[in-house]
Amino acid sequence: MNLNNILFLDIETVSHEASYDQLDERWNSLWDAKSKYFKNEGIAITPSEAYSQKAAIFAEFGKIVCIGLGIYKQNELRLKTISGDNEKKIIEDFFELVKKHFSNPQTHSFCGHNIREFDIPYICRRALINGVEIPEIFNLGSKKPWEVKYIHDTLEYWRYGDYKHYVSLDLLAACLGLPSSKNNMHGSQVTEEYWRKQNIEGISKYCLEDVALTFKVFCRLIQFSGMEEISLKYID
């Protein structure tokens, strides 16, 4: 496996509006219907509370504010974010990078934690909503799992075929003796940091910490022995 040909990535998402009260009548109704499922899961919260806590994880009710990227070159993990308030431009810039440098499924691949079920589907759904053409390499809907070997999911590596088992990146890192990336922010705080503080810089930093941790976890999972010698380089 050639680490130089893998694009490590993570996304940060927030609710599409600052609060439930800012949704129009149609979207209020749609979220009310969605939030009823949370009660079936034993979560007794109002639609307004549910929106603040959960809207960001659904592509229909959330949006992308940051895509963090990591590329390994010459004993460096080079880290960069595409972030801001313009979701369409974030996705377009990301797809442009993919088309230029990671478009060949025979030689290029992507890696993330739960990337197959969350990050890539979320990006593609938001691309459709924003009217952005999806690169062929991400058109996964008609492909069989064995046809997309170019997606490396650290969650799947850890599952060893047990698809009932979910483990967070932070827990997996702890199991592997790696330090946490949750030093300055947690995922549950991203929406508040965005809407109340406009803290794109802080969100971007948090996102890159997750990308770097995903890289380290992946190296441990594939038993790559040279991880200790790799330095981090942040690119504007």
Contact 210, 181 (CB under 8 A): yes
Percentage above 90 pLDDT, the chain? 73
Measured distance CA(55)–CA(52) in Å, rounded: 6
- Can you give the pLDDT at residue 21? 96
Can you tell me whether residue 29 is helix, strand or coil?
A: helix
**Rounded to a whole number, what is the largest CA-CA distance in the chain?**
56
- pLDDT tens digits for range 23-58: 999 999 999 999 888 765 666 688 999 999 999 999
- Can you give the pLDDT at residue 214? 96
- pLDDT mean over 216-222: 94
Evaluate if residue 212 carries a pLDDT over 90: yes
Measured distance CA(168)–CA(28) in Å, rounded: 30
pLDDT tier for residue 2 given thresholds of 50, 70 and 90: confident
Fold category of 3-16+61-234 in CATH: Nucleotidyltransferase; domain 5 (3.30.420)
Q: What are the Cα distances from residue 140, in Å, to 105, 116, 144, 194?
A: 12, 10, 8, 30
Domain boundaries of the chain, sorted by first residue? 3-16+61-234
- pLDDT tens digits for range 65-111: 999 999 999 889 999 999 999 999 999 999 999 999 999 999 999 99
Say how many C-beta atoms besides its own lie within 10 A of residue 66's C-beta. Answer: 23
- pLDDT tens digits for range 142-197: 777 777 889 999 999 998 878 778 899 999 999 999 988 777 788 889 999 999 99
